[in-house]
Structure 1
Amino acid sequence: MYTTQSFKDKFKDLNSVDWTKTQSVMDIIQTVQQEQDAALRTYSERFDHVTIDQLEIPSSQFDVALSSIDEDLKAAMQAAHDNIQAYQQSIKLTDGLEGELFQKVHPLSRVGIYVPGGTAPLLSTVLMTAVLAKVAGVGEIIVTTPPQADGIHPAILAACSIAGVDRVFQVGGAQAVAALAYGTESIPKVDKIVGPGNQYVALAKKLVYGDVGIDSIAGPSEIVVAVDETTDARWAAFDILAQAEHDIEARTFLVSTDKQKLEEIYTHVQKELKNQPRADIIRKSLSDHHYSILTESTEENMEIINLIAGEHVSIQTKDAQNYVDRITTAGALFVGSYAPEAIGDYVAGPSHVLPTGGTSRFSNGLTVNDFLRTNSVIALEKNSFLNMAKSGMRMAKEEELQAHHDSMACRMEDLS
């Protein structure tokens, strides 16, 4: 168990990106640029141990997959889709068409979505990304996901059907990012790549940024849970378990002024862990990346939470509403005991693709607006030009850009 100060000292040394993998990722990107589809097949055999004859999955299989899943799952996915769609529509940027100065909004032409494969079929990631792109009006939505020996999980393809995905390719890792960024014989170049992934995917996105847009450099998933004497210890324990089961690198932070509650929650964690199918993953995650932090006050709670700048921040205290305006660096804030982080992963509406590793200090979670671009429109009438030009001419003179000055001055002269 950490004190506020001992945790601050420890936190300085935490790093979410393994930079030692950079050279190997660069090699993969360059090989894909040179060898294209052939490289993708080679890497699938080397890293995924799957031989791929056909990189693209026929779109007809999306609806086949949808009809093959049970009705309860189909209804749950549709409910999630509807909630996500409604929320994203409510926050979507719109054109401002009034006056002489305004903004135009345009959807991106083509986007690539990376859906992790790994140890779980993350159908929710399809919905939490592709639905946003669809609401934005993106012209073509492409999904890449790691190949599987038994084929792509039907639930992922069903989610693609529900979300309106156009094309799916069974390609994973850094090689998928490279293919989306630069194009191959089969996979077209996209304008932006979004979606979570492992360290190789994160580094690949960082390296191709600038040639293509990205959402963020995602590290291990994480949650910060603030609790007090009123918190249901069993509920909070399951929130810790839910985060830890993502991956052995997943990070969990438990913050409180109440030492007894911290201990009680962790006792429940150990008790319930025995019944979890992914117990080995959870145990490793908690052993290496769990932090219980005993603070002296609510103010220290808030200080620690803002320092961590966590992907998910869950406030399960009697004064939870008081945190809303004071927590300024959360990827997503879950307020109260009835807003577990897991419900945000699936059905609440805001995307679960969120900044990790402290990057919520300067970035936000994925929204519909990440699939839009804006441009300003300057449509001045004569009087507005005359009111502005004198100031513009003076500044151009100071910068010694004579043609800039003359561009405005010639109009001034002719109008006068």
Structure 2
Amino acid sequence: MRISCVGAGPAGLYFAIVMKRRNPNHEIVVHERNPAGTTHGWGVVFWDDLLTTLRNNDPDSAQAIADEAVPWSGQVVDVEGQPPLHNGGGGYGICRRRLLQILIERARALGVDVRFESEISELSQVADADLIVAADGVASQLRRHRADRFRPQIEAGRNKYIWLATTQRFPSFTFGFVPTSAGWVWFHAYSFKEGVSTFIVECAPETWKGLGLGTMRADAGLRTLESIFAKHLDGHELISRDSHDNRLPWLSFRTLVNRTWHADNLVLIGDAAHTTHFTIGSGTRLAIDDAIALAAALSEHDSLPGALDAFERRRHRALARVQRDARLSAEWFENLPRYIRYNAPTFFTLLLARRSRLLKRMPARTYLYLRGHYTKLTGRAASPLARIGRRAFPFGSKASRGIFRAEPGTPRR
């Protein structure tokens, strides 16, 4: 096949790798509009299950990724004014730029033509391709050409957030919550390479506006956030890669769903097809799963329409629960005042249970009472209440490093 893949993120690059490994005769070109080395965000987080998937599909790139990954151990919730709490589990962080470099090098070694500063905004630019893979993100330009077929729906989240980095090391995945005169501000942090951590700041729009974070110059905004999180940063600075008109690039998360993922010979994967909120940490995993599923469907079916139909059915089923969990997780943080008024152990329990549909529908105390009552009656740690709302594994991981077995009960100090 002649394949044009638009977008050199994890989805597009890994699809090219897997397809070339399945059949070296495929002619694959990956187009990326940005210069080489350009990326958004800082580190990405993943678990052992992703490494297993990578090893099963391309051991060479899997080993390179494993060699670069930085492990983090456990989770910490630190609510100002209360002792920090710790819970088990573990995972990995890796520099997003380094991850992409590994995938680019591997794709090229397999014979994939990776072209930077090659913007594809019209389908006519890749008209000679048998298959066009749109891996060009949530704002996909190619998707717009078949919008009547894909029928995308984008919903902006309520909270404001920003991806930053810091030289402070976070050996555990850390949530830090700090009250301000305008409301709570919190961060999600984890190490992703030696001496550098991802530091995502989130708050309600009223807090963001009340603190003036949307109107400050970039340097003043960083200093304000450093002051708010001074205890956690311990003198280390916050770093922003991007700014717009000398303003920090604050965002509202965009949840994207598409009615269908393919039209004619154009197929969507990764963030062009779907997005899941960053609080469940699944973006990279889902992009790679899309790439593998598409390559498998193309290998299993003789006709392109049949392959794309099979791919779409498979991934729609796989994503249904993940997308629901992501919405519940995002809504939990959007309703933080409902939960943060409890003491730290109870708050941590509610944080870990944030993907429960029942928690959303009833008072937190009622939810906790019913779950605790069931546990006392049966002696079982995982109650039906947890399973109905999906057991609250940290960020949805089923990794063998203990996260799969973590029960969202009262954390240990």
TM-score, normalization: structure 2?
Answer: 0.25
Which entry has the higher C-alpha Rg, 1 or 2?
Answer: 1
Return the TM-score normalized by structure 1.
0.25
Greater share of residues in strand:
2
